Every structure is written in structure tokens, then in C-alpha cells.
Amino acid sequence: MIMKVVKVSDKGQIAIPVEMRGAVGISKGDSLVLMQLGRRIVIEKPKVSDEDFSGLISEKVMKELWDNKYDGVWDNV
């Protein structure tokens, strides 16, 4: 196990040490998953990449579709 102490910038950013990025295979531009577990924050590299979901509809578009007040189809379900 590798353990390092990092400082949080005024923008809330941290730098992941190079040896940790290398050990996990994190590269520039990779997406990471952050999970809050009580007082802990776990950062994980997902097993799937953004490219695996590139053809799917975005969360923003889904919200716009589902929150459309002019679409009354779902009101009678």
C-alpha cells in the first residue's frame, strides 16, 4: 500500500502523486469516481471508460426530457 499526504488548493483540487497514478494506471484525461464513505473520500478508476458510454444519452438531456412540464403522458400512469 502506498500512502501520501497531499494539500487541497483554494479551488478544492488535489494532485495525485505520480507513483499512485502509475500503480493504478491513471492518465491525463481519465475520469475517476469519487465516493464519500462517512468521513472518507475514496477515489477509484472505473473499470469502464467514458468511451464505453459515448453513444448513450447524457444525464443533462435525460433530466430535460423527464422534467418537461409540457409532456403529460406520464401523469396518467
pLDDT at 74 over 90: no
Residue spans per domain, the chain? 1-70
pLDDT at 13: 95
pTM for the whole structure: 0.56
Q: What are the tens digits of pLDDT across the range 5-59?
A: 999 999 999 999 999 999 999 999 998 999 998 999 999 988 765 555 555 667 7
pLDDT at 49: 58
Burial class (CB in 10 A: 0-12, 13-18, 19+), 31: exposed
pLDDT at 16: 96
CATH architecture of 1-70: Ribbon (2.10)
